[in-house]
Chain A
Amino acid sequence: MKALLLGAAAIVAMASPTLAERGSDGELKIIYWQAPSTMNPYLSGGTKELEAASLVLEPLARYDEGGNMVAWLAESIPTVGNGGVSADLKTITWKLKDGLLWSDGSKVTADDAVFTWKYCSHPEGGCAQSEKYNDVTNVEALDELTVKVTFGVSKPFPYGPFVGAQAPLLQAAQFADCLGTKAPECTDANFGPIGTGAYKVTEFRPNDVISLAANTHYRDAAKPAFATVTFKGGGDAAAAGRSVLETGEFDYAWNMQLAPEVLAGMQAGGKGEIVSAFGTLVERVMINMTNPDPALGDERATAKHPHPFLSDINVRKALSMAIDRDLLVEIGYGDAGKPSCNVLPAPEIYKSTANDGCLVQDVEGAKKLLTDAGWVPGADGIRQKDGVRLSLLFQSSTNAVRQDFQALIKQWWGDIGIETELRNIDSSVFFGGDPGSPDTFQKFFADVEMYANNFDGTDPESYMANWECKQAPRPETQWQGNNMPRYCSEDYDALVAEMAKTGDLMERARLAKAMNDKLMQEYIILPLVDRGRVSARSNALGGVVMNAWDSELWNAADWYRVK
């Protein structure tokens, strides 16, 4: 049977795209069970909008499936070596490909890039991607096709502006009157941006369906193979999966967040397959290094009061040792996950191998560690020392897989004599960041909490800076910040500062690994599962290359109908 499947796969692989003309393959049907609300990624940071817009709007450079940067609208990637990035790392100069046209037939020029920067950096615009244009002091057009970006500080990784699905070029002519507070009033432009991509919008129905057609001015005369695209939104993951894998009504379904056995059952239909790719998204347990006791009032969960028992590294280590990560993957994610011992799991050059011991569950070892550290079981079986009981409050967002994980982990921690109380909070409150709510993941009024996080693109500098001392959420910062464990180490901060001024890639990799290892070996964060992107593709759709570093639809221009 397996040989037969492999044979079939080989035939599919050999059926390479016949060099057809543009629009010869009819209609492409894509379903996103969360419907896109707008086609302007600068007005919505949501993944669904970014991906829908990526069919139309394109950046100067983007990431391929291996996480490597590829020149897209630019001729090449500027580096210090080829003179595109200045020696002081403060400017980067992009050169656009010659002869690029917008879908209305007008020329793409450097002024469009200048405008895009102005659009997103307008103080009243509420641009969702303004992080991408951080520290940019000026963007200027040196000539019609050359753009120079100047940063206020030296940027060892100057590939924020105009790179990736989050920061594509907008057409200056179309958005000229849409700056600042005017941005949301330009409904026609936001729903039907003129782009350089393989498709252009013919009708946009917010939160419902997008109709697109092949862009007649696309730079490759033979692409795209499809004449039209229907981009349907709405429903749920199971229904979307069913429409591709079981009924064959659709060609591509995004984000198949389904139980592994459900997906396997759908795939048995034989109409399509699951495609996945792994990026940097890690489901993790964060340890609170501060005391969340309500009795502390305003000083609750702040650095003034260390945690009564989680400040003991032996306890934290025991918590990690008791977890069976393989089983978590099997139950929660199947092919869409793999066990992880690093909070920085990718790209390959940043991946540490120093912490792989966590892959093996060691309940006896955890018990011994706790006993040796003086935590001995009391009358009720819960370990204690000097009157402090190992009793945890474990919070997470409401989500079926997370609640399964919570129940399993509670049991494992119970096995080593640690009591756990579980709590789940609606995700819009948990991740909502409202400083008035006690239930946000930033406030962290619990002992441990679980969620997933990742970073955009492939450079981990700002991600690893999340665990600097000053990033700890506290009353003075209105409880904002990314350092949920409130970890504070001078050595770590020094590594962050060093990375901010290091340009050499291998040296940056060494620093990032060192930071990851420090967090792992001090058990500040307990990584659980490296979560992939999972989508479904019909057997009749060819050319799909799943990409975890950019939009999944990044190469939609190359997709074709398998006949």
Chain B
Amino acid sequence: MFNYTIRRLLLAVPTLLLISFLIFLLLDLAPSDPTANLPLTIPPEVREKIRISLGLGEAFHIRFLLWCKQFFYNETLNILEQWWGWDFGGDRLRVLSWQTRSPVVDTIVQRIPQTLWVVGMSYIVGILIAVPIGILSAYKQYSWFDQIGTFVSMVGYSVPTFFTGVLVIVIFSVWLGWFPSIYDTTLVVNDWSSFLQQVKQMIMPVSVLALYNAAQISRFMRASMLDNLNQDYVRTARAKGIRERSVILVHVLRNSLIPVVTVIALGVPQVFGGAIITEQVFKVNGLGQLLIIAIQAGDVPTVQTLTFIFAVLIVFFNLIADVLYGILDPRIRYD
């Protein structure tokens, strides 16, 4: 298992390099211009100068190598300096966003808390709702509970968050006035009242996203439980006189979790990717909003850095899912 993990990690290096190159290539081929959104009163000569000052005058391969150096070398040294207080000296240019002209990595670090709080929380809430619903729905297949569960997850899965988001804002912010419609990212939680405020502003985005996540995961959970409930080993366990509770929660649940864990693990990178639409609707301004704004503004360094980090997370969580497989199911061995 250990050797396998090391081998996979080593293989990830060329994979990620190739991914970063492909992302860069795609962004370069896309018809976007960082000066396109400027007012028309700014003349073309000035726009050209702006483009050159952003480094767009250089050839494709030079820009790519420069990004690689800035991201892999300069930013790494920078992190080491910040964490350990070392000083490598020298003047290193970091990856600078074309919109803000500030280091992209700093902005990402600034955005992570609100994304993790809102999107991460909704993922956890979603899982906590989905697993019991999935188990019960499967156990009492075609009962009222199952029918209602199926209906709710179909609604959660098929109604887009830009609809449910605006709907809850209109109901709970405009009509009832219970929750704020705009998320305050500067709120510091240091006492009960600010904690309450944080909870209030998180309720709507978290529930909207949790509904969506729960819908997906509960369907997987239900299907996987159903597969196992009809297996011979379940009948054997019951025949041996094991309590129903243990049959379901120990034997069936553990085996059914294998595919569900994969789905959950593979979904984690999406948490970091933020929920582009939900973040926009509630003005959470996390990583998803950062990405979409950067795309609209033709801000290549930000898009490149963010998508690359997502790629790293996806590769990494794929590996975690595979390793978890082995832990949950001793029959699975890769060596």
Contact = CB atoms under 8 A, between A and B. Distances in A.
Do A and B pair up? The answer is yes
A53 interface: no
Interface in B187-223: none
A127 B48 CA distance: 11
Nearest to B179: A247
B317 to A, nearest CB: 27
Given A37-B100, A45-B38, A185 B281 contact: no
Contacts of A411: none
B35 A207 contact: no
Contacts of A242: 169, 173-174, 181
B37 interface: yes
Contacts of A40: 101
B35 A433 contact: yes
A35 interface: yes
A232 B114 CA distance: 15
Given A126-B54, A206-B99, A434-B33, A234 B186 contact: no
B188 to A, nearest CB: 11
Interface string B38-64: 111111111111111110000000000
Contacts of A236: 280
Interface stretch (B102-110, B118-126, B129-137): B102-110
Q: How large is the interface on B (under 10, 10 to 19, 20 to 34, 35 or more residues)?
A: 35 or more
A230 B187 CA distance: 11
A206 B100 contact: yes
B283 A433 contact: no
A455 to B, nearest CB: 6
A191 B53 CA distance: 19
Given A47-B39, A207-B289, A235 B281 contact: yes
Given A246-B174, A453-B40, A130 B46 contact: yes
Interface in A183-232: 183-185, 187, 190-191, 203, 205-209, 211, 230, 232
A43 interface: yes
B280 A234 contact: yes
B101 A35 contact: no
Given A43-B101, A249-B182, A207 B290 contact: yes
B38 A128 contact: yes
A126 B110 contact: no
Interface string A417-457: 00000000001110111100101001000000001011110
B180 interface: yes
B42 A45 contact: yes
Contacts of B174: 242, 246-247, 269
Main secondary structure of the interface of B (DSSP, over half): loop
Contacts of B101: 38, 40, 43-44, 183-184, 187, 190
Given A428-B32, A434-B33, A239 B290 contact: no
Interface in A44-58: 44-47
A31 interface: yes
Interface string A111-137: 000000000000111111111000000
B327 to A, nearest CB: 40
A181 interface: yes
B42 A126 contact: no
B100 A209 contact: no
A124 B285 contact: no
A129 B41 CA distance: 10
A183 to B, nearest CB: 7
A233 interface: yes
A434 B181 contact: no
Contacts of B110: 205, 208
A185 to B, nearest CB: 7
Interface string B162-186: 0000000100011001001110111
13 contacts: A44-B38, A45-B38, A125-B53, A128-B50, A129-B42, A130-B49, A184-B102, A190-B102, A205-B185, A239-B169, A249-B173, A432-B32, A456-B41
Given A131-B46, A239-B181, 18 more contacts: A38-B99, A38-B101, A44-B38, A44-B99, A125-B53, A126-B53, A128-B50, A130-B46, A181-B53, A207-B290, A208-B110, A208-B185, A208-B285, A211-B186, A232-B283, A236-B280, A434-B33, A480-B44
